[in-house]
Amino acid sequence: MEVNHTETAHKKHRGRGTSLNPQNRFESIDSQIELSEITCDDPDRKTRYYIDKSKSALSFNQSPDIPFEASLNPYRGCEHGCVYCYARPSHEYLGFSSGLDFESRILVKKDAPALLRKALAAKSWKPKLVAMGANTDPYQPIEKQLQITRQSLEVFLEFQNPVGIVTKNNLVLRDTDLLKKLASKNLVSVFVSVTSLDSKFSRQLEPRASQPRQRLDTIEALKDAGVPVGVMIAPVIPALNEYEIPAILEQVANVGAGSASYILLRLPYAIKDLFSDWLQEHYPDRKQKVLNRLLDLRGGKLYNADFKQRMRGQGEYAEQIAKMFKVMSRKFNLDKSLPALSTSEFIRKDERQLGLF
């Protein structure tokens, strides 16, 4: 029987950011061993979890536009399903697609806490900020069951090594007890991603992430607990949510955020097609305007990876967004960075000591 590939590719999957599953750039790479399978609210596309057998918990970068060197990602792939996620193409290195696979085929680093403990105990380790959530969200739904992020926070506290968290899920509040202890030693900051205040738009864009009101409540709860909290407006999407910047800044300031920053929409590799398809489904009347604006921001391309402009764009329109953000963040006292985290209290241990626990 002949299969209609066009119909298959555009089959709608409830609760997913995209229904497309474009071809992998690296078809010869194999996926890893399956861990388990659970049923989600989409009967046609269950989320499957696989063991990630990485030998190291930490990743390192030397990018001049990223304010940290080391990062920890307990999960690869993310069930939040944000159609715009710049991490989607990384799934292709694992033998999956950057489309539907990215949000329904999740690799789990079960050994991350133990590997992190080993890394921090190494003689070569120099205490430094480690970012969690730099690639995929450390508080996506499966974390409620597996608690890998929580166990990793326990290791950071044990060694008193600073950690920065970025999330769009109010599950982070589960770990308030650990965050308070870390904050008391100036070892943690949390950035909550707030893309919109519109619940309908947020559900279309980030289908399994916490709703805007929940994120505002999360900011307020963290502030009340004494945890330094900032906000990332990411991504800013021209002709869709950039007009919300002043309102978002006002609302997050009202609930206690201490700092704010933004990142313009990034569309590397297959994300360009995924996002274009998403626009056609949800905002066909604005699709061409959004894409034209992106072309203006990226020097005639839908994406430009140049370090000097990939986060902020270039040209007159990019300057307008930057000026608006600067003025409004100053108005709401969000134009300062959160205090630098401490490395002075780091507890040096070796693996012989760890063997006693």
What dihedral angle (degrees, nearest 10) is formed by the CA atoms of 214, 216, 220, 226?
90
| Total-model pTM | 0.87
| Non-local CB neighbours of 4 within 8 Å, separated by 6+ positions | none
What is the DSSP code string of 103-153?
Answer: HHEEEE-TTHHHHHHHHHHSTT-----EEESSSS-TTSTTHHHH-HHHHHH
Query: Which two three-digit tokens encode residue 72?
Result: 């920890």
pLDDT digits (tens, 9 = 90+) for 3-28: 233 333 455 666 676 766 665 554 44
**In the predicted model, is pLDDT for residue 38 greater than 70?**
no
**What is the structure's pLDDT at 200?**
97
**What is the structure's pLDDT at 29?**
35
Domains, the chain, ranges and CATH? 13-335 (3.80.30.30)
pLDDT digits (tens, 9 = 90+) for 339-350: 999 999 999 877
pLDDT digits (tens, 9 = 90+) for 140-176: 999 999 999 999 999 999 999 999 999 999 999 999 9
**In the predicted model, is pLDDT for residue 189 greater than 90?**
yes
| Contact (Cβ atoms closer than 8 angstroms) between residue 76 and residue 136 | yes
Pick from 243, 203, 208, 254: which is nearest to 100 by CA?
208
Query: Which two three-digit tokens encode residue 56?
Result: 């190291």
Q: Which has more pLDDT, 185 or 65? A: 185
